[in-house]
Amino acid sequence: MSRTHHMPKIIGGLAVVLIALTAAGCASARRTALKQAAAGSAGAFAGGDYGRALDLYQKLYAKNRSNGKVVSRFTALIEEVKSAGDAAEAKESYAAARNVYGILAERWDGFSALARRLSFNRGDLAAGIRDCRLALCERQFRQEIGAGNYGKALVAYQTALKDYPGDQAIRSRYLKGIAEVASVAAKAMASKDYGQAGRINGLLLKSLEPLAGPDDKGPGTGIPSRESLGSSVQLCSTELTNAGLVEYRKGHIDSAIAVWEDLLTFDPGNAEIKKAVETAKAQLGRLKGSGKTSGRAGRSARGAKSAR
């Protein structure tokens, strides 16, 4: 039998060998890629770089969607990252937790085919992000209230309302915040601290702007109406105007200026009081220039009289 007769069998055998070698080489390459992804991902995860940890496996998964090991390990990693976010939230590390949930949400499309294998869904991530945001708002509100920064306290919820305009939980917290600040204003008014009361009521007046509808404002809710706030601000302005005039007529020009400047902190557009302050300061300057530290203000001071 000639060598030519055996040639097809030889070629066929070589083809089988080549296919086997190629398959073995591909399998080896896949194993190497999997090991590299596993090592790199584990290092990134340990360092808290959850985005990189996910990206390394996601690239491998995109090329090997039918590889059971890749799918299994990628799914496990996704669950581990979610658990890291849950652990951070349980420890009240809300910023860290929100960041983790955000990383998963941003990459969701890359592994959405694995959704049925996961213990959570995209909606759970969105809820986690919202809950952490709400907790951070509450924390900031408490810090600012404690420091007496009532405007900044309310802004904490106002920014959240802009991002979640229809969210009832955030709206409810914001309303409670307004009611709490309103109680501070009421105490200031009761103690005749009209400067503080005027400033806070002015802030509250602006704080009602993000709220649509009057259903949650008015008597019995703790939320003052726009009308009552406007009246309170006007009352504070009137009281401080008169208090300044009393000091001015006594010749206590420094005190009068201080009272009127307190008024201008919440009513900066009050032209009459601005004029009264200018007049009083000019008179005080003349008194100091003449070597006197105080003097009795005459009733002829037009700026002060016009502030009545």
Answer yes or no: is 6 within a domain. Answer: no
pLDDT one-digit tens code per residue, 80-100: 999 999 999 999 999 999 999
Least confident of 69-73, 93-97, 193-197: 69-73
Q: Which residues contact 32 (CB under 8 A, 6 or more apart)?
A: none
Asked whether residue 3 is assigned to any structural domain, the reply reads no
Which structural domain, as residue segments, surrounds residue 284?
234-308
Report DSSP state, residue 218.
B
Confidence at residue 75, expressed as pLDDT on a 0 to 100 scale: 95
Residues 98 and 148 in one domain: no
Backbone angles phi, psi at 119, to 5 degrees: -90, 0
Assigned domain for 29 exists: no
The 10s digit of each residue's pLDDT in 271-285 is 999 999 999 999 988
The model scores a pTM over 0.85: no
**Longest CA pairwise span in the chain (Å):** 138
Cα separation, 98 vs 87, in Å, equals 11
Lowest mean pLDDT across 50-64, 80-94, 108-122: 50-64
| 68 part of a folded domain | yes
- Specify whether 216 is located in the same domain as 135: yes
Q: Write out pLDDT tens, residues 234-292.
A: 999 999 999 999 999 999 999 999 999 999 999 999 999 999 999 999 998 888 877 66
Tell me, yes or no, whether 82 lies in a domain.
yes
Domain boundary among 66, 85, 118: 118
Phi, psi of 218 (to 5 degrees): 125, -175
Contacts of 138 (CB under 8 A, 6+ apart): 173
Q: Is residue 10 part of a domain?
A: no
pLDDT level of residue 31 (50, 70, 90 thresholds): low
Residues 205 and 129 in one domain: yes
Task: State the distance between the two ends of the chain, measured CA to CA, in whole angstroms.
Answer: 129
Name the domain count of the chain.
3
Q: Is the confidence at residue 217, as pLDDT, over 70? A: no
